[in-house]
Amino acid sequence: MTEKLYYKDAYIKEFDAAVLSSVELEDGTFDVVLDKTAFFPEEGGQSSDKGYIGASRVTDVQEMAGVVHHYCRSSVEGDAVRCVIDFDERFEKMQCHTAEHILCGIMHRLYGSENVGFHLGDDDVVFDVDTVLTREQLDEVRALANKAVYENRAVSTHFPSPEEITALQYRSKLDLKENVRIVNIEGYDSCACCAPHVSFTGEIGTIAILDFEKHRGGTRIHMLAGARAERDYAKRYGVIKKISALTSEPQETVADAVENLVKTLENTRQNLKMARLKESELRAELLPQSDSNAVVLLGDYTVPELIDFSNAALSKVGGMLVALAGSDGDFRYVISSRTCDVRSKAKEVNAALAGRGGGRPEMIQGSFASSLAEIEAYFK
Ligand SMILES: [Zn+2]
């Protein structure tokens, strides 16, 4: 059994330990077991700590049958090796994890919600409860949770005896009676949990509920707290500020302004589509009747617009109608014909004009990397 320093003190950043074993694995990494550790393993939905044992990088930590295995990039030896945890990252997880206890404790008290899932990754924090909650209810929970932060309540842990535990009221996913570690947040929550937490709720900082959705008959909640919430706030504020500047709208009303812009854009797209269709018909009318091939350049048309034009103009052309959009070296093409199988010519055409594409016997589409002069000369 590895002595678990993280149960005694969640704030240990560095410690010395003896290496009991360092075994090379098939992938060239090493499985290192120490006599004691402050590295918290992946457990209960929380990703493991990272850091260094000596000069070796610790990339993952797992507990198996009471023994903590540190997965390291290189081998380590010694009776007093310096171990250093990436503590900024660990502390952020302590902030988020303790915040999750407060949120769940409040939901349990107000709405009888039970926590049925938890994921605390290197970036995101998600938990599930078994009740369907509304935006209004979650707003209330968030406000109360932040109040718990301002009150700077004590967070304590203890291992009650089997006799004590039967008399205790606490949240738990498992029905254990021995070695149950109870985490108590004064006035807010009591929960069985093995992870590291902050000592006072004031260390958590802001608690933010980012999003929520219905999930398996309950609610899935996306949250952040502390340093992660602070960075997230700065990132989102930057985005809103930029949108506000681009739209020349105050930040408070920018969402409505963008909604209007999207509607206007959709109308404009429809108008452009109608105008292009009209233009295609007019250009088709202007095309002289001929029995040979015709090459027509149509500015920045899309492929569907090239097809509209081709359908409108095909009756004028006895040979192949080559409708182009783009510029030298970068053309989109639609080639159609009433009299010959253009699909059978695709290979030859593409080879001659640095092209790619294909389609049906009456119409092919693709791109040319050649110039307009080269295309015109080829189809002359
Ligand atoms: Zn916990």
H or E element that contains 297: strand 294-297
Question: How many A from CA of 214 to the centre of ligand 1?
Answer: 24
Residues carrying CATH 3.30.980.10, the chain: 90-242
- Sequence-distant (6+) residues with CB within 8 A of 119 are 45, 125, 126, 127
Which pLDDT tens digits describe the chain residue by residue (380 residues)? Answer: 999 999 999 999 999 999 999 999 999 999 999 999 999 999 989 999 999 999 999 999 999 999 999 999 999 999 999 999 999 999 999 999 999 999 999 999 999 999 999 999 888 899 999 999 999 999 999 999 999 999 999 999 999 988 888 888 888 877 776 789 999 999 999 999 999 999 999 999 999 999 999 999 999 999 999 999 999 999 999 999 999 999 999 999 999 999 999 999 999 999 999 999 999 999 999 999 999 999 999 988 999 999 999 999 999 999 999 999 999 999 999 999 999 999 999 999 999 999 999 999 999 999 999 999 999 999 99
| CATH placement of domain 3-85 | 2.40.30.130
Whole-angstrom Cα distance, residue 9 to residue 6?
5
Q: How many Å lie between the centroid of ligand 1 and the Cα of residue 74?
A: 31
Q: Return the pLDDT at 172.
A: 83
Report pLDDT for 242. Answer: 97
Q: Which fold has domain 90-242?
A: Threonyl-tRNA Synthetase; Chain A, domain 2 (3.30.980)
In contact, 97 and 46? CB cutoff 8 Å: yes
Helical (H) or strand (E) element with 35: none
- In one-letter notation, the amino acid at residue 217 is G
d(CA 168, CA 105): 15
Q: What distance in angstroms lies between residue 197's CA and the mean position of ligand 1's atoms?
A: 6
> What's the pLDDT at 267?
98
- In this predicted structure, what is the pLDDT of residue 84? 98
How many angstroms is it from 291 CA to the middle of ligand 1?
A: 81
CA angle 363, 367, 369 (to 5 degrees): 145
CATH code of the domain occupying 280-379: 3.10.310.40
Count Cα atoms within 13 angstroms, Cβ side, for 246: 11
Delimiting residues of CATH 3.10.310.40 domain(s) in the chain: 280-379
How many Cβ atoms are within 10 Å of 152's Cβ, its own excluded? 12
Residue with tokens 């918290």: 40
pLDDT of residue 167: 85
pLDDT at position 179 = 82
Cα(194) to centroid(ligand 1), Å: 6
Pick from 283, 168, 145, 172: nearest CA to 226: 145
The CA 192 to ligand 1 mean position distance, Å, reads 7
DSSP sequence for 240-282: HHHHHHHHT--GGGHHHHHHHHHHHHHHHHHHHHHHHHHHHHH
DSSP per-residue codes, 109-169: HHH---EEEEEE-SS-EEEEESS---HHHHHHHHHHHHHHHHTT-BEEEE---HHHHHH--
Separation of alpha carbons 316 and 293, rounded Å: 10
CA atoms in the 13 A half-sphere facing the CB of 158: 11
Residues within 5 Å of ion ligand 1, judged at the Cβ atom: 193, 195
Pairwise CA distance, residues 214 & 216, whole Å: 7
pLDDT at position 163 is 86
Between the CA of 43 and the centroid of ligand 1 the distance, in Å, is 10
- What is the C-alpha to C-alpha distance for residues 112 and 54, in angstroms, rounded to an integer? 47
**What's this model's pTM, rounded to 2 decimal places?**
0.79
Question: In this structure, what are the phi and psi dihedrals at residue 87, rounded to the nearest 5 degrees?
Answer: -75, -30
Nearest by Cα to 320 from 289, 287, 293:
293
For residues 187-215, b (16+ Cβ closer than 10 Å) or e, as one string?
ebbbbbbbbbbbeebebbbbbbbeebeeb
